[in-house]
Amino acid sequence: MDDYFVIATVIIFLSALFGYINVRFLKLPNSIGLMLITIVFTFGVFALSYVDTTLLDAERYIIRHIDFKEVLLDVMLSFLLFAGALHTNFQQLKVQRWPVLVFSTFGVLVSTFLVGIMMFYVLQIIGLEVSFVHCLLFGALISPTDPIAVLGILKKAGVPKKLEAKIVGESLFNDGVGVVVFLTIFQIASVGNGDIEAFDVLRLFGQEVLGGIVLGGVLGWITYRLMRSIDDYDIEVIITLAAVMGGTVIAHHYHLSAPLAMVTAGLIIGNDTIRGSAMSKITENYVDKFWELIDILLNNILFVLIGMEILVLAFDGKYILAGILAIPTVLICRFASLLFPINFFKKRLDFVPRTNLIMTWGGLRGGISIALALGLTQAMHRDLFLVVTYIVVVFSILVQGLTVSKLVQKVKI
C-alpha cells in the first residue's frame, strides 16, 4: 500500500509540476503540453542515465507497478466519460443523434476493416509478416477517437457548435463501441483457427453495447430520482460519484460496456430538463465544479502516464517505419469511413463545409488506443503494435491537436 501511495504521489506531483510549466511558459492545451513535457522529461532521464540511473530506475519502477490498461479502461475511463457527457450540449447532441450514432458504430467498423486491410499490406511491403486478424486488432484499437483528447482541444479550437456536437458525441460513443469491437476481435484471434461462431460474436457485441446503454439509462434515472427527492448539494455530489463507481463495478461484473453506461448516465443527468427539475442552482454549480476537477486531475495524470509509456517501447527500425507509415494510413481510412455517413446526412442536417476534413483531422487518438495495445499478447505482435500505436497517438495529439484550430479557421474563411 505504501508503494502505491508513493507512486500516486509522484505522478500527481509530476502532473502539477508539468502543468505549471505548461501554463506558465508553453501555454499549450493541457493534454498536449503535459504529454510533450513528459516525453521530453523521459528522454532527459534516458540521457542522464548514462551518468546516473537513479531517475530512470524510479520511472521504470512506476511504469512496472502500474497496469496502464487496467487503470485507464477499468477505472479512469468511467470517470472521464461521465464528466465529458455531463458537460456535453444535450440539445445539440439530440439534433445530431443519427449521424453521431452512425459515425460511432458503422464508422468504427468500416475504419477497423480498412485500417486492418491497408496495414496488412503495408507491413508486408516493409518485410513484417503479420496475420490479417492481428492487423484487424490494430484497426479496432486505433479507430475510436479519444474523447479525453478531443474534448479539451476542441474547446479552444473555435469549432462551430453543431460540428462540435458531432465530433464530441462520436468520440464519447465510439469509444465504448471501439472497445467492444476490439474485445470481440481479440476473442476471435485468441481462439485461433476458430471454434467461435457468428452468433457468439453477435451475442458478445449485443450484450456489451446494449447492456451498457440500458445500465446507463437505469443509473441515470435512479440518480435523477434520488437527487430530485432531496436538496443537499454535499450528498447530491456524492450520489453522482456513487453512480459512477457502482455502475462501473456492476458493468464489469456482468460483462457490459462500462464506457457506454457512463456516457448514457452522464448525458441523462447533464440534460438541461433533468438539471432544472432535480438540482438547485447551488447543487448544479457544485456537481459541475466537482466533475470538472475530477476531469482535469485524471486528464493530467493520464497524459503524464502516456508520456512515461515510452519506456515500455521496443525501439526497432522496422517498427518505427511501420508507425510512420501508419499515420497517413489511419487518416486516409478515417476519411473514407466518414464519406458515406456525411454524404447521407449532409443535406437534411445542414453540415458545415469540409465536415469530413475537420472530423478526420480533429478525430484524435489517445490513451485508450495505447491501453488496448498494451493488452495484446506477444503472439499478437504486441511490441510492434505498441510502437505503431504510440507513434500514431503522439502525432495525433501533438501535430493534429496543435493544428486543428488553424484548419477550422481556414475552412471558415
Write the pLDDT tens digit of every residue in 296-332.
899 899 999 999 999 989 889 999 999 999 999 999 9
Contact 328, 62 (CB under 8 A): no
Tell me the pLDDT tens digit for each residue of 191-205. 765 556 667 777 877
Same domain flag for 31 and 103: no
Of the pLDDT bands very low, low, confident and very high (cuts 50, 70, 90), residue 110 is very high
Same domain flag for 61 and 73: no
Which domain CATH number covers 89?
A: 1.20.1530.20
DSSP 66-131: --HHIIIIIIIHHHHHHHHHHTS-HHHHHHTHHHHHHIIIIIHHHHHHHHHHHHHHHHHHTT----
Contact 362, 400 (CB under 8 A): yes
Same domain flag for 373 and 407: yes
Same domain flag for 28 and 133: no
Same domain flag for 61 and 180: no
Query: What pLDDT does residue 196 have?
Result: 60
Percent of the chain at pLDDT above 70? 96
Kindly report the length of the chain.
413
> What sign for the dihedral angle of Cα 122, 128, 131, 134?
negative
Of the candidates 248, 168, 170, the residue with the CA atom closest to the CA atom of residue 215:
248
Tell me the pLDDT tens digit for each residue of 224-250. 999 999 999 999 999 999 999 999 999
Tell me the pLDDT tens digit for each residue of 20-54. 999 999 998 888 899 999 999 999 999 999 999 99
Distance from C-alpha of 384 to C-alpha of 377, rounded to nearest angstrom: 11
Residue 225: count of CB within 10 angstroms of its CB: 10
Grid cell listed for 349: 442536417
Tell me the pLDDT tens digit for each residue of 339-384. 999 988 887 777 878 889 989 998 899 899 999 999 999 999 999 9
Same domain flag for 170 and 301: yes
Distance from C-alpha of 58 to C-alpha of 328, rounded to nearest angstrom: 36
Query: What pLDDT does residue 192 have?
Result: 65
At which of 65, 97, 115 does a domain end? Answer: 65
pTM to 2 decimals? 0.92
Of the candidates 220, 217, 212, 206, the residue with the CA atom closest to the CA atom of residue 256:
212
Distance from C-alpha of 291 to C-alpha of 279, rounded to nearest angstrom: 15
Distance from C-alpha of 355 to C-alpha of 377, rounded to nearest angstrom: 37
Which residue segment(s) compose the domain that 16 sits in? 2-65
Overall number of domains in the chain: 2
Same domain flag for 313 and 368: yes
Burial of 317 (0-12, 13-18, 19+ CB in 10 A): exposed
Same domain flag for 51 and 168: no
Query: What pLDDT does residue 348 have?
Result: 76
Same domain flag for 265 and 286: yes
Burial of 312 (0-12, 13-18, 19+ CB in 10 A): middle
Same domain flag for 116 and 45: no
Three-state DSSP at 52 gives coil
Mean pLDDT for 94-109 is 90
At which of 41, 65, 89 does a domain end? Answer: 65
Of the pLDDT bands very low, low, confident and very high (cuts 50, 70, 90), residue 183 is confident
Same domain flag for 33 and 94: no
At which of 48, 65, 82 does a domain end? Answer: 65
Same domain flag for 319 and 211: yes
Contact 120, 93 (CB under 8 A): no
Helix, strand, coil distribution of the chain in percent, nearest 5 = 85, 0, 15
The radius of gyration of the chain's CA atoms, rounded to the nearest angstrom, is 21
CA atoms within 13 A on the CB side of 234: 0
Distance from C-alpha of 216 to C-alpha of 259, rounded to nearest angstrom: 9
